[in-house]
Structure 1
Amino acid sequence: MSLNGKHALVTGGGTGIGLAIARALAAEGAQVTITGRRQEVLDDVAGKGLFGMAMDVRDEDDVVAKVEAAVAARGPIQICVANAGIAEGKAFHKMSMEFWRNMVATNLDGVFLTLRESMKSMTQTDWGRVITISSIAGVKGMPSGACYSATKHGVIGLTRSLSEDYLGQNFTFNALCPAFVDTPIVTRNTDNISKRAGISEEEARASMVNVNRHKRLIAPEEIAAAALWLVGPGSGSVNGQAIEIAGGQM
């Protein structure tokens, strides 16, 4: 497989799943624009085909301007990976409107804006691949995860609807749905769960690990491998799918 000449955009590309996918795409020859809120984080990992660009996916004007700048610099976006998101649990009756709106703005509005702006240049080409990063919480409910799960269900609905809009054209839209991945999000949530539930950090971490059917955290590179498959040869008939990566049937 060669992605030479292809421009990829990966949101939330400075750490975790996004960075693993960005590096995998760059290794196959793509020029990859990685975005995140903090330029210094992006600068630390830029190079070897990765180009950092601070962008807040919640801000429509910022997304419009930054995607235009990326296209001007590296050509039309033909691979779009909408990965930026936040994950935090909270009991439903304790959930404020501010908490709800911030997560929806990041996890769902951000995906909508990223895809809308990327498609403007992608549809001017003859090939494109869109990958959204949902979650296993996008296909099932999670304790204390009403808001997060709602946003990730929404991401799958958006992805599937777009696959129908462009059916028969050389563009595909698929969602990856990981269970718990070994990223900084798990580290942060370990502390949050420990404090919220009054349990040890070891017990808090185990509560996430045990959700995964094979009882281990998933490596970010495993998610990246799935993304590479979806942009590689022979994947053109995989469209509108929510692909679970959870170590077994959920």
Structure 2
Amino acid sequence: MAKGSLQGRHALVTGGGRGIGAAIAAALTAAGARVTVTGRNEGPLAALVEAGGAAGYALADAADEAATRTAIRAAVTERGPVSILVANAGAAESAPFARTDADMFRRMLDINLMGVVHAAGALLTPMTEAGFGRIVVVASTAGLRGYAYTTAYCAAKHAAIGLVRSLALETARTGVTVNAVCPGFTATDLVEESIARIMAKTGRNREAALAELTRGNPQGRLVAPAEVADAVLWLCGEDASAITGQSIAVAGGEVM
């Protein structure tokens, strides 16, 4: 996408303080958008703004509807109507199903599904009234297939993709598009934590733990956050107006 191609657009990125969210915010900023990032921790958000990766930030837990709506109102007051939403905030927990209780399912659904619902619910009507909008959900390959020991996470990400597909049909003639980008294992702090857990539980070294995570990726590597950001950036542009209801895997050719 050409530099400045999103000039005049206000984009809001949830979970924008680090990893994929920060990369998306920086890419949108470079394309000319005014970017607001939200998250629970002020430090990384403020650092991103200071580095020029976003125009401003607001504190909000994406799973908290009231906090999300308050953050969005503040962002609109400061930077104008939001025409791009990147619902990136998410979390992953793992355990065998026999040790996965109802509370884990609720936590995974609250952040990975309801976090999308809260943000989209606050922004969809203004987008449709304006006749333009881009909603991109950062889901996961876990929303396209199953993985062992992550039943709650997979269920929540499948639910998020179901929401994308249904909402895309409802908005198909409004000028709003709704899509999901589904990264495979990506080089983020969260994946580093997963590597550390594998090492602690199995006694493997980092190389072996990393190989376990990347064995499903034919390219044999972690995805870079910038690669996910590039896919999101394309979906946010004018030229992607015919792309809606899609779930695009960024996963090195992993078969879904």
Report the TM-score range of the alignment, normalised by the length of the smaller protein.
over 0.9
Instruction: Give the deviation of 1:194 after TM superposition.
Output: 2.5
Secondary structure of the 1:124 match is helix
Per-residue CA deviations over 1:139-191 (Å, capped at 9, x if unaligned) read 10001111111111011100011100011221101100111111111101111
Would you say the 8 A contact 2:15–2:62 is kept in 1? no
- Look up the match of 2:179: 174
Equivalents in 2 of 1:21, 1:116: separation in Å?
21
2:172 matches 1:161: no
Report the TM-score, using the length of structure 2 for normalisation.
Answer: 0.93
CA contact (8 A) 2:35 2:56 kept: yes
> What is the 5 A alignment of 1:24-39?
24-39=27-42
Q: Which residue of 2 aligns with 1:14?
A: 17
State the AA in 2 paired with 1:164.
L
Is the deviation greater in 145-154 or in 196-205? 196-205
Q: Which of 198, 220, 224 is residue 215 of structure 1 equivalent to?
A: 220
Match for residue 8 of structure 2 among 5, 8, 17: 5
Percentage of pairs with the same residue: 40
Under a length normalisation based on structure 1, what TM-score does the superposition of the two structures give?
0.96
Aligned residues: 250
C-alpha displacement at 1:205, in angstroms? 1.7
* 2:240 paired with 1:235: yes
Let me know the Cα RMSD of the aligned residues.
1.3
Cα distance between partner residues in 1 of 2:237 and 2:253: 24
Unaligned residue ranges in structure 1 (runs of 5+): none
Q: Distance in 2 between matches of 1:210 and 1:80?
A: 32
Partner Cα distance (1:101, 1:95) in 2: 11
Look up the match of 1:104: 109
Q: Following TM superposition, where does structure 1 have runs of at least 4 consecutive aligned residues deviating by more than 6 angstroms?
A: none
Q: Does the residue aligned with 2:190 lie in a helix, a strand or coil?
A: helix
The answer (yes or no) to whether the contact 2:183–2:228 under 8 Å persists in 1 is: yes
Q: Could you tell me how far 1:98 is from its partner in structure 2?
A: 2.3
- Mapping of residues 124-143 of structure 1, within 5 Å: 124-143=129-148
Distance (Å, rounded) in 2 between the aligned partners of 1:135 and 1:155: 10
Q: Give 1:199 deviation, angstroms.
A: 3.3
Measured in 2, the distance between the counterparts of 1:240 and 1:220 equals 22
Aligned to 2:56: 51
Local SS of the residue matching 2:13: strand
